[in-house]
Amino acid sequence: MSRQQIDIVDLIPVNTNTDNIIKMDEKRRLNNRYAVGEQLGIGGLSVVYEARDDYSEYYGDDRRLAVKLPLEHLSAKSDIDAFMYAEYAHLSRLSHPNIIKVIDFGIDAEFNIPYIVLEQLNGRLLNEIPLTQFSISMKWNLLYTLFKTIEYLHTQHIVHADINPNNIMYLDDESIKLFDFGISINLSKKQLFELDYNTIKAYNPRYAAPEVIQGDVPTFHSDLFSMAVVCFELYSGQLPYIERSTELFERPISLRDLKLLPFGLRRWFKYALSADPMKRNKSYPLFLEIKKYI
C-alpha cells in the first residue's frame, strides 16, 4: 500500500486540552472486544486509557492493558491509520524487558478509529521523580539500563526520535520502560509514509538534537544525543544548555561541565553532546561494561 506524505501541519495539535480528546464512556468497547476505562495520559498526538480485553478475561489472563487512541481532530485524517499502525509495527518487531510491549492493533468498525493495545505500565514518569530520591547506585543502574536499551533498539534499526523523561517510566520494581514510538523510524525498510521534520513538532524540543530542531530527520546520532541529555540532567539536575540544544553551537560542552557525571564516562558524554552529529560517538562506552563487574 503506497502512502503520501502526511500533512503534518494539520496533524500536530495546537494544544492537548480536553477538547481534543475522543470522548470515551465507561461502556465503550473497541471492536466489541476492548473495554475502555479511565484516562491514563495524553500526549501531543494521542491519548491513553486503561483497557480490559474480553478474551483475556474469559481465559483467565489478568494482565493489565492500555489502549492508545489518536486525538479527536486527528482521527478523521486519511492517513491516521497508517500513522498509528507504524508505531504498532515498530514495537511488534522488538522484544526487550525495558521497552513497552505491544499487544494488538485495530480499527474500530463502528467509529473508524485506529487504536493500539499495549501493556499497562505501573510507576512514575522519570520527569515526575525528584532527583533527591535517586541514590548513586539507582542513578547508575538507570543510566546503564537506558544505554543498553537504546543500544538494542539501534541494533534493530529503529530510531526512537523522541527520547526524553516523559517517555521513560520508572516502574515500581525500580526498572525502566521506554515507550511512545509514535514518531520512530525503521531504517531497515521503507516507511508507509514520511514525516516532514521541517514542520513536525511532536518531539520534545528540550531534549532534541540541534539538527532535529533545524529540520533534519532523526538518526542514531540524534538518539544518542537525547539520551546523553537525559543522563546529564539525571546527574546534574539541569540541562547542558538553557533552553534548546542549538545553543551548543555557540557554547560547546567542556569537561568542566561534566564534573557531576561518572568520571569514566565524561569524555564519552563530551562528544555525545556535540552540536555536530559527526563528532558524536559511534559506539557505547566500554566503561559501562567494565563498571558492571567492579
Kindly report, residue by residue over 90-148, the tens digit of the pLDDT: 999 999 999 999 999 999 998 899 999 999 999 999 999 998 999 999 999 999 999 99
Which of 48 and 281 is assigned the larger pLDDT? Answer: 48
C-alpha cell read off for 85 = 499502525
Report pLDDT for 191.
65
In the structure, what pLDDT confidence band is assigned to residue 12 with cuts at 50, 70 and 90? very low
Asked if residue 146 lies in contact with residue 168, where contact means CB atoms within 8 angstroms, the answer is: yes
Q: What confidence tens digit (pLDDT) does each residue in 171-181 have?
A: 999 899 999 99
For residue range 242-265, list pLDDT tens digits in order: 999 999 999 999 999 999 998 889
1, pLDDT greater than 60: no
Query: CA nearest 291: which of 149, 134, 168, 136?
Result: 136
Architecture per CATH, domain 123-178+205-292, reads as Orthogonal Bundle (1.10)
Q: Tell me the pLDDT tens digit for each residue of 196-246.
A: 666 666 789 999 999 999 989 999 999 999 999 999 999 999 999 999 999
Of 167, 168, 165, 171, the C-alpha closest to 122 is: 171
Is pLDDT above 80 for 68? Answer: yes
Domain boundaries, the chain: 8-119, 123-178+205-292
Q: What is the mean pLDDT of residues 47-67?
A: 94
Tell me how far apart the alpha carbons of residues 40 and 51 are, in angstroms, rounded to a whole number.
10
Pick from 25-34, 159-168, 229-238: least confident: 25-34
More confidently predicted of 208 and 75 = 208
CA 141, 89, 5, 157 dihedral sign is positive
Domain 8-119, CATH class in plain words: alpha beta
pLDDT at site 23: 58
- What is the reported pTM? 0.88
- For the stretch 132-159, pLDDT in tens is 999 999 999 999 999 999 999 999 999 9
pLDDT at 285: 76
